[in-house]
Amino acid sequence: MTRDARVAGGAAEDKTTEYLLAPDDAAAVDAWWRAANYLAVGQIYLMGNALLKRPLAEEDIKPRLLGHWGTSPGQNFLYAHLNHQIIQRNLDMIYLSGPGHGGPSLVAASWLEGTYSEVYSHVGTDARGVDELCRQFSFPGGIPSHVAPETPGSIHEGGELGYVLSHAYGAAFDNPDLIAVAVIGDGEAETAPLATAWHSNKFLDPQVDGTVLPILHLNGYKIANPTIFDRIPRQELESLLVGYGHKPYFFEGGFDDEDITNTHRRFARLLAQVLDEVVDIRARAADGRLTERARWPMIVFRTPKGWTGPQEVDGLPVENSWRSHQVPMSAVRGNEEYTRLLESWMHSYRPEELFGPEGRIMDLVAQNNPVGTRRMSANPHANGGLLTRDLDLPDFRDYGVDVPVPGGATVEATRVLGGWVADVVDRNRQTFRVFGPDETHSNRLGAAVEAGGKAWQAELLDTDVDLSRTGRVMEVLSEHQVQGWLEGYLLTGRHGLLNSYEAFIHIIDSMFNQHAKWLDSSRDIPWRVPVPSLNYLLSSHVWRQDHNGFSHQDPGFLDVVMNKTADVTRIYLPPDANTLLSTFDHVLRTRNYVNVVVAGKQPGPQWLTMDEAVLHCTRGIGIWDWAGSEEPGSKPDVVLGCAGDVPTMEAIAAARLLRERLPELKVRVVNVVDLMRLQDEREHPHGLSHRDFDALFTADRPVIFAFHGYPSLVHQLTYRRTNHHNIHVRGFKEKGTTTTPFDMLMLNDLDRYRLVIDAIDRVGLAERESSLRQEMLDSRVRARQHTRKHGQDLPEVTQWVVQDGDNTQGSGAPGSDTGGDNE
Amino acid sequence: MTRDARVAGGAAEDKTTEYLLAPDDAAAVDAWWRAANYLAVGQIYLMGNALLKRPLAEEDIKPRLLGHWGTSPGQNFLYAHLNHQIIQRNLDMIYLSGPGHGGPSLVAASWLEGTYSEVYSHVGTDARGVDELCRQFSFPGGIPSHVAPETPGSIHEGGELGYVLSHAYGAAFDNPDLIAVAVIGDGEAETAPLATAWHSNKFLDPQVDGTVLPILHLNGYKIANPTIFDRIPRQELESLLVGYGHKPYFFEGGFDDEDITNTHRRFARLLAQVLDEVVDIRARAADGRLTERARWPMIVFRTPKGWTGPQEVDGLPVENSWRSHQVPMSAVRGNEEYTRLLESWMHSYRPEELFGPEGRIMDLVAQNNPVGTRRMSANPHANGGLLTRDLDLPDFRDYGVDVPVPGGATVEATRVLGGWVADVVDRNRQTFRVFGPDETHSNRLGAAVEAGGKAWQAELLDTDVDLSRTGRVMEVLSEHQVQGWLEGYLLTGRHGLLNSYEAFIHIIDSMFNQHAKWLDSSRDIPWRVPVPSLNYLLSSHVWRQDHNGFSHQDPGFLDVVMNKTADVTRIYLPPDANTLLSTFDHVLRTRNYVNVVVAGKQPGPQWLTMDEAVLHCTRGIGIWDWAGSEEPGSKPDVVLGCAGDVPTMEAIAAARLLRERLPELKVRVVNVVDLMRLQDEREHPHGLSHRDFDALFTADRPVIFAFHGYPSLVHQLTYRRTNHHNIHVRGFKEKGTTTTPFDMLMLNDLDRYRLVIDAIDRVGLAERESSLRQEMLDSRVRARQHTRKHGQDLPEVTQWVVQDGDNTQGSGAPGSDTGGDNE
């Protein structure tokens, strides 16, 4: 393989004038690169004497070496050259570091650019600052060893791998002037999310959106293995990247004794060519000359792992080997040979040319720094809260459902929400997008799809519906992809919502985890301005996944969310359309949260007028007098709690049965919209005091709680409550069979008849009311026999109304389900 | 695009003799296809009169239409042709249906082959059987609408998408005679896991392993959108697949009025050519002529979505559109026009040529069925328990650590395990593999890597270590990929373990969920023979992720696991090396479970001799007398519970402090290996009775429980215990900073000093022992100050031994951590 750039499909484009890196600029780029490399090594190894004012002593060296060298020099090289182009062209550019351990590199870059000292005054720009910069790195009380919220200029955690390209696209959407550089590790390229993220280029509009420049950093090794991408024939890799829709440019450097100035010149030329091509694509798109999908350029950047580091340690090759993934020499402290090796390694960067007598960087280095917000470490897009503007939200009250009496209307809640979301899309065409894994229409947000169109840059046919080059709804069959896009979109300061079937949201558990942790860490970083919340709408939920069978059912995402810090997580279970509208109006106004909203898409009874819904959502929890049978001034005998649309319906149905059949039993119905209200106020900011909780649930009466998710979650939330031993939860069980909606409820003991039996038993009337119990048990048998024979639920269930004389209206009876378009 | 087959890279290979489908065979293939299509429609729509003995009436039609038509006819076409080749060549082949909703297709196939009636006697081979076959499909009390454990011949759930190719490779490993056909949906192809699964071909050895034949079913649409793969230029798709390392063959059928016999002939020719090429590759591999990585053939099979279904419904196109994804006409019942359309659709398959007067299939159809275990629906590989043989396990006792006194040795537990695993690999070279996402060496299983080698078919360099064409350790940087491979390997009856950093295992939460549900469903299917368990080793756990920072830490996989049925889930937290060995010996002998084992890789103190370890693991929980200060015959004042290696160390250290400083306080230490022991015996088969639980933890004494994971999990497990209000758990909190091991513990209030304070407080001695409390608080401050200054923990912590005079030996002091090679 020649080290010259090769362009897919043959020769470089003729029209591109070759860019020549001037000698002065080459010297500056090289000095900047050496300085960054020097600081990367210093951060990993040193806790003092970072500028080598004296020979390294034992106490200068960290006792625990926890950083990673391997990826740093290559990334420093890229950063140096990107800086040069930013200066030349006044580019608006951000840098996303995909390889897990770019920490030393990106921290060094932001310090060299001065940003680090601006946001962390204790890490100055002088020698003491250099010492502190090195000491704090992966040190107790310091900063993580990977790129993190603490790193200026970053919107991408260097923890779990695979999301850098999706994040870069999310950043580029609706930012036409931005270039998001995504450096992809060749280990990272093996991950599943990264492997599909390449296809993002079918969703980026070269007129409305910005540019993503993927740079595949091919340095050959992972923790302990070579990478696939480095060990397939070059032609195969090229074919793959062309197949992903890109025009790849190949670069190699560092594998021979080429003069480094020449290496810089070659890369500068290639980078300039790539950026010229970007300009050309954008120009052609702007004036309509781009008639087919853009084939965006990208770079394959092949350099040795641990480039410029020690060639060998203990007789084993280190540079260009997995042995330089972490630290070339470990246990340096107290090892004289290693200490001298480290010293000469650091001297090889000629620090005397880089740092002045007071430790400040020399002009030669500074010359390669862009200024102000053109510095990638200070670009406001990477601190997106700076750019966030509130959404222009239509008044959700105008979209509500008329509910003459509780139960007096039947609608698909998410379809009602869709009408409002459509107008949110329409009013915020530069700052709001809807994301979904091919389920947006199925989840009844069709109005939003019609209003915004679905983004699509691939081939269009006459028969297509709602696809659009400038679509505002982002759909692809990958939860990872849409989650990654949305994260990038939010972290650069815009707004969005992600809708998914509840069952499949577990696919991005770990992405949620990492984003929640990012938000949580950001709260403690004063210069990070809060960004819009990550809003989930989970529909096609477990109680109406009846035709998809056992494998699809799992409400456990709520449990995953609960494990994250209360400071950033919110869970809402609006029981009907008006409460759903009110909830979403709220969550779209919040910052720095993850809001999870669970709501069904099937026709369901409506309970609250809009005014009642606003009040109920504001409280987050409340007694529904009309559903119970309490008398003023006396305590209830039993409380029926409920959270979730379907459990609420069953609790209300159970309350009605009790009202009719045991009128002397005083029943209270408590509905929960904001699940965190169940928690102690000391555990969650939304938590209720014990006094308030007891006022709702009593301190000593049995509580039968009908819950959307796994019962253990309610137990966990109410663990500290006075009455917690008397809270009996019915929720989702792991039961597998094909059912109808009511059969599904019976299978989980969450049906109205079972709740009635629970109430009877828990208040101690099991013996006295044995005939009523028997009747309830018989009702269940009858209901099941009916479904087994007819394939649908009993009319008395599907046509159930909350009270006689209800004027039920709308698009179907509660609990009916004629079809279902779950995937 | 011409409809003729095109081969990547130009002309078809000259040496291949063109296969000609004989007219009789073409008629049989076509009849079989029509029969399968007919039955697919029947399953979706009908609950009676499935053979159309009389005109369809309202009561014949299901009230809820919950199946999916779109993918079925294409898959039926493939199945019919694969059957023909199986018959011609006596192939050992299984079929994995990737598209989510192949249920009607695969159920029809297994019924046509007779397998269905063999395993489900109530679904006979006659007309009554056909009626029942149709009625039960996605019907209450019946079978799911997708491919499921209930479907004979399947090892792949048609639920969540993206895993079919990984599953197929898992099935093919170590099965040299098997061809695993993986039909990939073009929607599915957009998912992240599928996008990287193509690279599996770099890990399959053509000598030792079988063949995977990927067939990309390009039918153009998902739920509500076109697919990316169908809307990129054909050349781009070809480039992508070539880049993935395959030789793609393209086929198109059904888009014009070609005579169907010709379509069959064209596909038969292409399939024969592909299979010839497979034979050729295998032959060249066998005799050493294959000097480079095999470029396996694959097929791009482009047919209209909903092929042979209604062209239009209500004036809108349905065939070849997303509108045929689910059901071409919904709400058929009671709709006369739709009913007649359905009838004529079904008649278009000419059922009179397919089913005899008694409803049995005609000879023409049966002629295309392979016989016995050559039927893909009856292939034993797809019911892997049939082929499972016990592992030949070396006696783990021989690999144990000598522990003269508790705390009297220090080792890396997983390294000790690695020695035993190495010999398991060595003794079971056809039936056991180790899987890991580039972390096996880091997790200290290096001995297993050396013993087995790491599978690698891509380029090899002289400098590579342990890579091998026939490696037994499977490593790629994708948790999805290794999980998918292992699932396929297990479901075809072999054994394995997956090792991962604990923090990253959340990546496959949803894959775990689906596999656990598969196992759970399988338990209720008598003909499914239990398969080896899915065994996880989670190392680099949260308590020693100190250098990787906040983003990496999460012990919540245990919570995800706990939500699944007790019948299939097991969680073990062995506190040292000997208990880890004993645990792994056990889990590798089990069937149909998911076993999660959490164990650290850093040097840690050893507590139990091998005999004690075996006893302790057999009980799963027990009192450690030597660690406590009880007196015979009297109750303890306080119980220190512990689960997990690091929490155990802290609990023992706390017990020692209490013994020294408050000798009159009677402390009991209870260690838990098998976490499910904490549960009620009615909730989990491993659960303890209340009597046994109370005997360990007392019914009324305070319990301070030091736990590896989130505290809520222990509360959840012990919720029903007598003493549960008095169980106080210290576990993982969401706290972010960079720490040392002990700092990390203090940050989470799980350190020995905090536990001592907890014990003092909970037994009511806070006032009396205020000076001891103060001393403990001071110790924490001192410990933190030391780390902040020196970057490592206090010597009194790192060099702590359980009791004076301990003869601590081994590879480092407990709690020491000189490096760390976490990714």
pLDDT in tens, A137-149: 999 989 999 999 9
Whole-angstrom CA distances from B528 to B381, B382, B524, B593 are 11, 9, 8, 14
Inform me whether the C-beta atom of residue A222 falls under 8 Å from chain B C-beta atoms.
Answer: yes
Q: Residue B587: inside a domain, yes or no?
A: yes
Distance CA(B366)–CA(B364), nearest Å, equals: 6
* CB contact (8 A) between residue B477 and residue A193: no
Q: Do both A631 and A556 map to the same domain?
A: no
The angle at the Cα of B736, spanning B731 to B739, to the nearest 5 degrees, equals 85
Residues 6+ away with beta carbon under 8 Å from A262:
none
Buried b (16+ CB within 10 A) or exposed e, B148-170: bbbbbbbbbbbbbbbbbbbbbbb
* CB contact (8 A) between residue B144 and residue A549: yes
- Which amino acid, B295? R
Closest partner CB to A550 (pick from B64, B517, B823): B517
Closest partner CB to B549 (pick from A144, A232, A326): A144
Asked whether the beta carbons of B614 and B582 are under 8 A apart, the reply is yes
Strand order in the sheet with B6-7: B6-7, B247-252, B297-302, B211-218, B178-185, B92-97
Q: Provide Rg for chain A, Cα atoms.
A: 30
Distance CA(B759)–CA(B749), nearest Å, equals: 13
Distance CA(B245)–CA(A243), nearest Å, equals: 12
> What pLDDT does B733 receive?
92
Q: Do both A254 and A341 map to the same domain?
A: yes
* Residue after which a domain boundary falls, among A553, A573, A603: A603
Q: How is A207-234 classified by DSSP, letter by letter?
A: TTS-EEEEEEEE--B-SSSB-TTTSS-H
Any idea which residue has 């972490």 for tokens? A326
Q: Do both B52 and B117 map to the same domain?
A: yes
- Counts for chain A of helices (H) and strands (E), in that order: 25, 23
For the beta carbon of residue B451, count every other beta carbon within 10 angstroms.
22
* Segment holding B594, helix H or strand E: strand B594-598
**Residue B614 pLDDT exceeds 70:** yes
Condensed to tens digits (0 to 9), the pLDDT of residues B269-282 reads: 999 999 999 999 99
User: Which residues of B are less than 8 Å from A222 in CB distance?
Assistant: 438, 477, 823
Residues 6+ away with beta carbon under 8 Å from A224:
A322, A325, B438, B439, B440, B441, B442, B475
Condensed to tens digits (0 to 9), the pLDDT of residues B705-762 reads: 999 999 999 999 998 899 999 999 999 998 766 788 999 999 999 999 999 999 999 9
- pTM for the model stands at 0.96
User: Which residues of B are less than 8 Å from A721 in CB distance?
Assistant: none
Can you say how many angstroms the Cα of residue A317 is from the centroid of all Cα atoms in its chain? Answer: 39
> What pLDDT does B546 receive?
62
> What pLDDT does B101 receive?
85
Residue of B nearest to A141 (CA): B738
ipTM surpasses cut 0.90 = yes
Inform me whether the C-beta atom of residue B679 falls under 8 Å from chain A C-beta atoms.
Answer: no
* CB contact (8 A) between residue A224 and residue B440: yes
* Segment holding B603, helix H or strand E: strand B603-605
The angle at the Cα of A305, spanning A303 to A306, to the nearest 5 degrees, equals 115
Mean pLDDT of B96-101: 91
Beta bridge partners of A594: A534, A569
Q: Do both A275 and A410 map to the same domain?
A: no
Instruction: Find the CATH number of the domain harbouring B773.
Output: 3.40.50.920
Q: Do both A328 and A411 map to the same domain?
A: no
* CB contact (8 A) between residue B241 and residue A236: no
> What pLDDT does B736 receive?
67
> What pLDDT does A807 receive?
40
Q: Residue B404: inside a domain, yes or no?
A: yes
Q: Give chain B's mean pLDDT.
A: 93
Asked whether the beta carbons of B621 and B575 are under 8 A apart, the reply is no
Nearest CA distance, B152 vs chain A (angstrom): 17
Closest partner CB to B193 (pick from A192, A509, A560): A192
Share of chain B above pLDDT 90, in %: 87
SS3 assignment, position A155: coil
Q: Residue B805: inside a domain, yes or no?
A: no
* Tokens matching residue B93: 């082949």
Inform me whether the C-beta atom of residue A142 falls under 8 Å from chain B C-beta atoms.
Answer: yes
Beta bridge partners of A604: A411
**Which of the residues in chain A have pLDDT under 70?**
1-17, 546-549, 736-737, 803-823
Residue of B nearest to A474 (CA): B225
**Residue B14 pLDDT exceeds 60:** no
* CB contact (8 A) between residue A551 and residue B231: no
Q: Residue A3: inside a domain, yes or no?
A: no
Share of chain A above pLDDT 90, in %: 87
* CB contact (8 A) between residue A159 and residue B551: yes
* Tokens matching residue A172: 């580029």
Instruction: Find the CATH number of the domain harbouring B183.
Output: 3.40.50.970
Inform me whether the C-beta atom of residue B683 falls under 8 Å from chain A C-beta atoms.
Answer: no
> What pLDDT does A549 receive?
62
Whole-angstrom CA distances from A558 to A273, A498, A712, B505, B800 are 49, 15, 11, 18, 41
Q: Do both A438 and A470 map to the same domain?
A: yes
Inform me whether the C-beta atom of residue A261 falls under 8 Å from chain B C-beta atoms.
Answer: no
Interface-testing mutation among A191, A443, A466, with chain B (most B C-beta atoms within 10 A): A191
Asked whether the beta carbons of B675 and B684 are under 8 A apart, the reply is no
Q: Do both B369 and B405 map to the same domain?
A: no
A626 CB-contact burial (10 Å; exposed 0-12 / middle 13-18 / buried 19+): middle
> What pLDDT does A17 receive?
66
> What pLDDT does A326 receive?
85
* CB contact (8 A) between residue B734 and residue A563: yes
User: Which residues of A are less than 8 Å from B725 in CB distance?
Assistant: 725
Inform me whether the C-beta atom of residue B371 falls under 8 Å from chain A C-beta atoms.
Answer: no
- Counts for chain B of helices (H) and strands (E), in that order: 26, 23
* Residue after which a domain boundary falls, among B358, B373, B388: B373
A100 CB-contact burial (10 Å; exposed 0-12 / middle 13-18 / buried 19+): buried
Distance CA(A495)–CA(A487), nearest Å, equals: 10
- Which amino acid, A105? S
Condensed to tens digits (0 to 9), the pLDDT of residues B514-543 reads: 999 999 999 999 999 999 999 999 999 999
Distance CA(A754)–CA(A730), nearest Å, equals: 9
> What pLDDT does B633 receive?
80
Q: Do both B532 and B655 map to the same domain?
A: no
> What pLDDT does A156 receive?
96
* Segment holding A165, helix H or strand E: helix A164-172
Could you list the residue range(s) of the whole structural domain that residue A366 is in?
A: 16-373
Q: Do both B599 and B626 map to the same domain?
A: no
Nearest CA distance, A65 vs chain B (angstrom): 6
DSSP state of B633: T
Any idea which residue has 């007096």 for tokens? A408
Helix A260-286 × helix A72-89 angle, to 10°: 50
If one counts the domains in chain B, the total is 3
Inform me whether the C-beta atom of residue B671 falls under 8 Å from chain A C-beta atoms.
Answer: no
Closest partner CB to B190 (pick from A459, A477, A552): A477
Q: Residue A6: inside a domain, yes or no?
A: no
Q: Do both B359 and B414 map to the same domain?
A: no
Q: Residue A339: inside a domain, yes or no?
A: yes
User: Which residues of A are less than 8 Å from B193 in CB distance?
Assistant: 192
Closest partner CB to B142 (pick from A237, A710, A738): A738
Q: Residue B724: inside a domain, yes or no?
A: yes
462-501 of A, contacting B, C-beta below 8 A: 463-464, 467, 475-481
Q: Residue B594: inside a domain, yes or no?
A: yes
Q: Do both A275 and A418 map to the same domain?
A: no
For the beta carbon of residue B327, count every other beta carbon within 10 angstroms.
26
Asked whether the beta carbons of A101 and A138 are under 8 A apart, the reply is no
Q: Do both A625 and A545 map to the same domain?
A: no
Distance CA(A129)–CA(A120), nearest Å, equals: 10
